[in-house]
Amino acid sequence: MQTARRLYVYLISGIGMGMLVAGLTMLLSVLFGRLGLAGSVLGGEGDVIGQQLTLASALIVVGLPVWLIHWLAAERSVRPDRPDAALERTSDVRGLYFALAMGILLLVAAAGVSGVIQAVADELLDESQFSSSSIGDGLALALAAGAAWAYHLAIRTRDWARGPMTGGGAWLPRTYLYVAMFVGLVTLLTGITDLIDVLGRMTLEAEPEFVDPSASTWWAYPLTSALTGIVVGGGVWLGHAWYAGRLIRDPGWRGESERPARLRMAYFVAVIIATAAGTLYQLGEGIGAAIGAVVGAGTAESSVPAIVLPLLAAIPLAVAWWLHLDSMRREALTSGDEGRIDTEVRLELYPVALVGLGFAAVGAAWLIGSLVDVLFGGGRVLSGGDFASDQVARYAPFAVLGVILWIWAWGRVAARVAIDPSGEAASTTRRATLLTVLAVSVIAGVVAAAMILYRLFGSLFGVAQGGDPVSELSIPIGILLVASLVAAYHATQLRRDQALRAAAAPPEPASEPVTRSVELRLSGPADGDLAAVVAGLQAQLPPGFALEGAPPSC
């Protein structure tokens, strides 16, 4: 009953709050429009301001009482004088509400700030006639959603201050914290790499291929977009990272609950995978462009930015990778927990090994497919152009870089296995990594085999099939070969680990036979020898049965 009540109260509170925020956004947009900031939430002909005010008033008049009534009911349940206040404050439903509400409001506020930055940049660059952004609209959205987000943050902070929280009431809002950190960091890094690209092309006077050569300010939108990503993503990441840093440094119960949190470790792992993959991708693009320039796959004018800019873009990604590795390492060492230190090392090595293996497998599969296409005269080669050299320049760097990274990480894993094979075999991180690789390899191999058999059976049955068979089968053949090798190796590792776990498991205790007993009462004459009678009965019992004599009762 309480769960159903909570679901109703928080759901209607969220709906009412959404209507209130939407109405306030429209109202503020009208106000900013009257102040000359060109607010225009509603488009079209006629009395636009009247339409805006009418809709805003309706949303506010309906949304405000709905939100107030239900939110006051929710707040009354968590007052310290209520007997079930602690249970209500730490409930899963309340935790889910805060996670969703703060996440949605943060996205909306970030979109408003992005609109403001875009509109200001368009005004400064004299691109406002091509812009759909409005300073008034963006500012109204940012203020309304930002105020609602700040209010929820204050309520959430007050809930924490009233006492410890566990269960969904703690980890669901914590999910919001680390998801916001991750999304903010990815947005920041994307903005930095885009800024490097656009500034580099402006410096080298090398417009992208998709840009109209007659456009004089082709760089305006990419530059504004990059700066928006840096400002918004950087603000979100820095703000939430600062807050998370305060939590783990807290000497009280909040710090004790936050420091070993699995969601924090998951955040580090996600960042490590994303930044490692991004670093390898940028390096592969730059090295591939250099190889293409050497073999004559591109002109000198296009090769210079294609080589230099990806290599420069790899730097901030590599820095973020190193910083998060270092932070995860220092936190584990500071804890002094040997188990956590072991876990940190595994989370440092196995995800990196996965990234390296992924790049190596994809690059190798494409190279094998290209080789098949060349050897058997595939249509892509015969169609013209130096296809083989282009494929080598494109995918060989990914394969080589992936192999190098995998050997570095997996070599350290192998050293740990050599020192403590049973302990490493029992690791959940190792088992999850091996099973993940095996699952992806099997799926890729099955799909590739299905494509090959589809083409083969079609030929055997005389079904008309378009396209060149060699070209269409070359990549599936490469995928099938690589997936089979990867699956076979990791399946061998899984079997070996399973044998080690079985050998290290303690023997099960021998089970005692199940017996039943029945109480018997023996009576006889006062001068009779009861012990002799019992002995006689015991001698007549079949195997497996026993009869115990008790002292005679008076």
Contact 413, 354 (CB under 8 A): no
For residue 226, the model assigns a pLDDT of 92
Least confident of 17-26, 49-58, 435-444, 480-489: 49-58
* pTM for the predicted model, two decimal places: 0.84
- With a CB cutoff of 8 Å and minimum separation 6, the contacts of 15 are 66
pLDDT tens digits, 456-467: 877 777 666 666
CB-CB neighbours of 240 under 10 Å: 21
How many CB atoms are located within 10 Å of the residue 199 CB?
A: 16
150 Cβ contact partners less than 8 Å away, ≥ 6 residues apart: none
Q: Which helix (H) or strand (E) holds 405?
A: helix 387-419
More confident residue, 415 or 376: 415
d(CA 233, CA 106): 11
CB contact at 8 A, 320 and 275: yes
Q: What is the pLDDT of residue 508?
A: 66
Question: Residue with structure tokens 């023996």?
Answer: 522
The pair of three-digit structure tokens given for residue 503, joined into one six-digit string? 């050998």
Tell me the C-alpha distance between 249 and 242, whole Å: 11
Per-residue pLDDT, 38: 60
**What's the rounded mean pLDDT across residues 441-449?**
95
Tokens representing 276? 């490692």
Average pLDDT, the chain: 85
pLDDT in tens, 341-396: 888 899 999 999 999 999 999 999 999 988 888 777 665 544 444 556 677 788 89
Q: What is the DSSP code string of 465-525?
A: --S-HHHHHHHHHHHHHHHHHHHHHHHHHHHHHHHHHHHHSPPPPPPPPP-----------
Which pLDDT score is estimated for 512?
Answer: 61
Q: Once rounded to an integer, what is the mean pLDDT over residues 274-297? A: 88
Q: How confident is the model at residue 45 (pLDDT cuts 50, 70, 90)?
A: very low
- Which of left, alpha, beta for 492 (phi over 0: left; psi -120 to 50: alpha)? alpha
Helix or strand or coil: residue 437? Answer: helix
Is 70 exceeded by the pLDDT of residue 551?
Answer: no
The pLDDT of residue 42: 44
Nearest CA among 203, 390, 216, 224 for reference residue 305: 203
8 A C-beta contact, residue 164 and residue 255: no
Q: Please state which of the ranges 165-179, 191-205, 426-440, 496-510 shows the lowest mean pLDDT.
A: 496-510
Share of the chain above pLDDT 90, in %: 48
Q: State the number of CA atoms in the 13 A half-sphere of 353 facing the CB.
A: 23
**pLDDT for residue 46:** 47
